Amino acid sequence: MLKLEDYHHQDPTWCRGCGLYGLFSAFKKVAFSLKIKPEKMSIISGIGCHGRLNSYFNAYGFHSLHGRTLPIAQGVKLANTQLSVVAVSGDGDAYSIGLGHFIHSLRRNVDMTYIVVNNRIYGLTQGQTSPTSRMNFVSPSTPYGSKEQPLEGLQMALAAGGSFIARGFSGAPQQLASLITAGMKHKGFSLVEVLSPCVTHNKIDTYQLFKSVIFDVDKDPNYDPTNKNKAWKIFSRHGDKLPVGLIYKETRPSFEEQSLPGRKPLAFLDLVPEAGKIEKILEKFE
């Protein structure tokens, strides 16, 4: 019988109060509630404070290059469709160097979950401005204040054809766990952004600030997450406030259902490289 502690590999070493603790707690509860065996899960992380998550979580893991989380995660899923694959990025990893992969992953719709930890800053490298930092944000990289408009990842996801788009808050781990659970049950690419304060380098976007500006669409009886027009309107209906909850969901075939119907996962095939073909390829580089 699985127990909650079966998913805890070692104690995290993030800064005390970091929002990643809320995510870590919620994610363990998700795996336990879904009864996913550790050997049946693969966690792919990028560069950033979040990147240690797969070291603390008891499952297969891969710490990838900056911005390359998604191509590796999709490769893992397509090689072994029986795995539950979860990719984890920060807002810089996802919306900056990894932005091209992000857009195409949404439209490709591989059956996996992508968690984007958004603290509106580059925390690991001492607090530089990130793509989601607010206008006029002062940091070591913008001493006179940022003069760039912040990116809105969920709006980009909706425009790119995402089939599951949600946002949670690390200060509300129970709702966050329910959103990640729904994302992992979704047959297709699920995006769950997490508002996660950086208590060391970002003294503006704090727990108190996020609590004051978020509103929960899950509590609105008139909101329909399957209605794309309503999803678009939710971003501007409340001014500067941030929606949390299930923003949008649609049902459509996943990439695997269309490209790998009835085929064995590559991980279970006895693939033997042909030496002659490899030698011909190498000759071209001599």
- What is d(CA 183, CA 115) in angstroms, rounded to the nearest whole number? 10
pLDDT of 267: 75
Instruction: Using the predicted structure, report yes or no on whether residue 284 has a pLDDT greater than 90.
Output: no
pLDDT-above-90 percentage for the chain:
81
Tokens of 120: 């509106």
Read off the pLDDT band of 272 (50, 70, 90).
confident
Tokens of 277: 């073909």
Mean pLDDT score, 197-214: 94
pLDDT of 281: 86
Those residues with Cβ within 8 angstroms of residue 63's Cβ, 6 or more apart along the chain or in another chain: 45, 51, 54, 55
Length of the chain as a residue count: 286
pLDDT of 194: 98
- What is d(CA 183, CA 179) in angstroms, rounded to the nearest whole number? 6
Instruction: Using the predicted structure, report yes or no on whether residue 96 has a pLDDT greater than 80.
Output: yes
pLDDT of 235: 85
Instruction: Using the predicted structure, report yes or no on whether residue 238 has a pLDDT greater than 70.
Output: no
Number of other residues whose CB lies within 10 A of the CB of residue 116: 27
- DSSP 3-state percent helix, strand, coil across the chain (nearest 5): 40, 20, 45
- What is d(CA 61, CA 46) in angstroms, rounded to the nearest whole number? 11
258 burial type by CB count under 10 A (0-12 exposed, 13-18 middle, 19+ buried): exposed
Mean pLDDT score, 172-201: 97
Mean pLDDT score, 217-234: 94
pLDDT of 46: 92
- What is d(CA 93, CA 181) in angstroms, rounded to the nearest whole number? 23
pLDDT of 157: 97
Those residues with Cβ within 8 angstroms of residue 281's Cβ, 6 or more apart along the chain or in another chain: none
| Domain carrying residue 195 | 4-283
Mean pLDDT score, 128-133: 93
Count of structural domains, the chain = 1
Instruction: Using the predicted structure, report yes or no on whether residue 255 has a pLDDT greater than 80.
Output: yes
What's the count of helices (H) and strands (E) in the chain, helices before strands?
11, 8
- pLDDT per residue as tens digits for the range 8-21: 999 999 999 999 99
Would you call 223 helix, strand, or coil by DSSP?
Answer: coil
Read off the pLDDT band of 58 (50, 70, 90).
very high
Q: What are phi and psi of 229, to 5 degrees?
A: -65, -40
CATH of the domain at 72: 3.40.50.970
The whole-chain average pLDDT of the chain stands at: 93
Query: Residue 183 belongs to what H/E stretch?
Result: helix 173-185
pLDDT of 117: 97
Query: Residue 105 belongs to what H/E stretch?
Result: helix 99-108
